[in-house]
Amino acid sequence: MAISKTDFINYSRCPRYAFFDKVKKEKLDADISIDEYKKQENQEYIEEMLGSMYEVDEEGNETDLIDVPNRQLEAMMDYYKEVELEAGRLTNIYFGGKTTFSESTYNQECFDFNHNGIKYLCYVDVYNENDDGINIIEVKATTTNMYNKLGFKNKDKEFVSIFEKEGPIYRLKEDVMDLYSIPDFDVDKYQKQVEKLYDRFGTGKYVYDLAVQRFMIEGEYKSSGNEEKLNNIHYYLAVLNADYIFDGTYEKGKAIYNQDEDGNEIINFFDFTNLTKAMQPKIEEDAKKIERILFDLKDQKCDLGKWCGYKKPGGCKYFNAICGKDIPHKNSSLNYISNGQGFQTPEGRIKGLDLINHGYLGMLDVPAEWITRKTHMIQRECLEFNKIYINKEKLKKGLDQIKYPIYHLDFETFPCPMPRFKGEWPYIQSPFEFSLHIESEPGVCDKIKDNYVFLAKTHDDEREELVKALIEHIDGNKGTLFAQNVPFEMGRIKELAKIFPKYKDELMKIHDRGFDLLWLVNTSSKMYEALGFNEEESKIFNYYNKDLSGSFSIKKTLPVFSDLSYKDLTVKNGTEAIVEYANYDKMSKEEYNIKYQALIDYCQQDTWAMVVILDELRKLVK
């Protein structure tokens, strides 16, 4: 039996994961039929698990509900591979010696060892040997922001990072200096921040990954009698540098990531050698737990918790189909608005998935005496009595703040890990499309005649053409820039103003006229307090309908106010838009033309939806 590093991370997540994996793998690998499965021990439960993992249509065709292809990941894979190649290149420069790295996992350095009948194995993204020893480098397509936020304010209210940086390498302060010898250094605050790196389901998730890798590497050296090498191995995470600005250098169509003008490299390294050593007792404990699970394989039900990764990237793939399948899709107990702190009960506070663990599945399952916030009371009342809540006075005053013409704007952006164009940085939301509906006066806007869409035709840099189109169609001297979640659109405009300074004045005039649809449907406490409403009323949403199910996203609000739908569109959401744009170069001419128009239709729908919703809000206060 072999366990990869990924298996280890998932099997140690909870006791159920390995069992589900085994059931699914046997179905995929075995030549036996479902009927033969019925003869096996625990047959009904096996069938139930498989029934949750697969959907069978009327013709008997199966759809895998677990291993669903991640189309965005597939579309971005070449860029993720580029991150590893850049990490390998910079390892050569900064560490010297001999470096092994490859786009293909199977060409990477591999470590394995056997223990209690289990073979543990891992591949190393970047393996480096130099005169000082061995450097193990795990590459993650996250950015330095994940770790640079770790720090505290000193007595002078200045931010103190827990890291010290030398060139592109970060090290914990405790690894390079005596903290107790630093005047007025708050060691307690420092340690509290470092503790976050031990949280495998939070900030420390990649550190845990690296610690598991260390466990497997050390296992091979110990089992092969090479323990003397252990003291000369260093463990690093390589991540994208959030401060890096691409200078736009290309050679034969390929981006060349030189040092930027501030001396930043595209990749930075975090030395977690001592931290991963301190984590080894925990990893060894997890390994024993995994062994017990695998040699007594059965469904060991357990509570839901942060280990499930609910609604997070990298969450448990079995959650929606099996463990969390009883959570209602609408108006669950998790849909109370702004409820991160949960509810205060006589026995203490209960929040998040603990509500589900205790049987409080639906919004109405939560005891009424726990509902103390005004917003929660309104939500519950709307659901229980099928009512609609409207604060007409607030909504009317909010509508009065809008100046005409209204420029309904929506950007589609490409969040590429590697900056593609001059002036960009890792994961910048680089605009490749916008739709604009211009409403000249209340309710006066035609879906086709008053719409303009700009969509990049290639993967070449068309941002300046986008900027020119934007300032050509929006008069920054009058009217209102209107969007759902307008800070996103304003953020992209501000970034474009920085990248293209000759258009800065025109762009910032547009930027400064931003107004959010959410301020009308939901609220803006700052705006409404300025309009004379008290603090409590200003914090409460202006409109609520049970069909919103605790969300004011445009996909939720649109069906409440109109019959418009995205279901008949070829491109139905932002993720699909990213995928189709990313796949331009892989399409035939015929497919390209179809998908190009589909991208136009989707973005146009987003801005037309805002026109429709705004018009319906006006009708509510007449």
Q: Does residue 51 carry a pLDDT above 80?
A: no
Residues 158 and 155: their CA atoms lie apart, in Å, by 7
pLDDT tens, position by position, 558-571: 999 999 988 899 99
- How confident is the model over 53-72, as a mean pLDDT? 62
pLDDT tens, position by position, 166-201: 999 999 999 999 999 998 899 999 999 999 999 999
Q: Does residue 70 carry a pLDDT above 90?
A: no
Looking at per-residue confidence, does 35 or 333 come out higher?
333
Same CATH fold assignment for domains 1-319 and 393-620: no
pLDDT band at 108 (very low <50, low <70, confident <90, very high): confident
Residues 456 and 433: their CA atoms lie apart, in Å, by 6
Residues 160 and 146: their CA atoms lie apart, in Å, by 15
Say what the pLDDT of residue 1 is: 76
pLDDT band at 52 (very low <50, low <70, confident <90, very high): low
Q: Choose the most confident range, by mean pLDDT, from 66-80, 107-121, 384-398, 552-566.
A: 384-398
- How confident is the model over 141-156, as a mean pLDDT? 94
Fold of 1-319: Lambda Exonuclease; Chain A (3.90.320)
H helical segments located in 418-524? 463-473, 486-499, 504-511, 518-521
Q: What CATH architecture is 393-620?
A: 2-Layer Sandwich (3.30)
pLDDT band at 40 (very low <50, low <70, confident <90, very high): very low
pLDDT tens, position by position, 484-517: 999 999 999 999 999 999 999 999 999 999 999 9
Q: Does residue 94 carry a pLDDT above 90?
A: yes
Q: Which residue has the tokens 């390929």?
A: 254
Task: Among 6-15, 382-391, 397-406, name the one with the lowest average pLDDT.
Answer: 6-15
Bridge-based pairing state of the strands 2-4 and 118-124:
parallel
Across the beta sheet with 514-516, the strand order is 451-455, 429-439, 406-415, 480-483, 514-516
Q: Tell me the average pLDDT of the chain.
A: 91
Q: Are the beta carbons of 362 and 325 closer than 8 angstroms?
A: no
Q: Are the beta carbons of 137 and 93 closer than 8 angstroms?
A: no
pLDDT tens, position by position, 389-438: 999 999 999 999 999 999 999 999 999 999 999 999 999 999 999 999 99
Looking at per-residue confidence, does 22 or 238 come out higher?
238
What sign does the dihedral 585-589-590-594 (CA atoms) show?
A: positive
Q: Are the beta carbons of 15 and 23 closer than 8 angstroms?
A: no
Say what the pLDDT of residue 62 is: 54
Residues with Cβ within 8 Å of residue 260, at least 6 apart in sequence: 244, 245, 246, 247
pLDDT band at 38 (very low <50, low <70, confident <90, very high): very low
Task: Among 22-31, 123-132, 444-453, 498-507, name the one with the lowest average pLDDT.
Answer: 22-31
Domain coordinates in residue numbering, the chain: 1-319, 326-386, 393-620
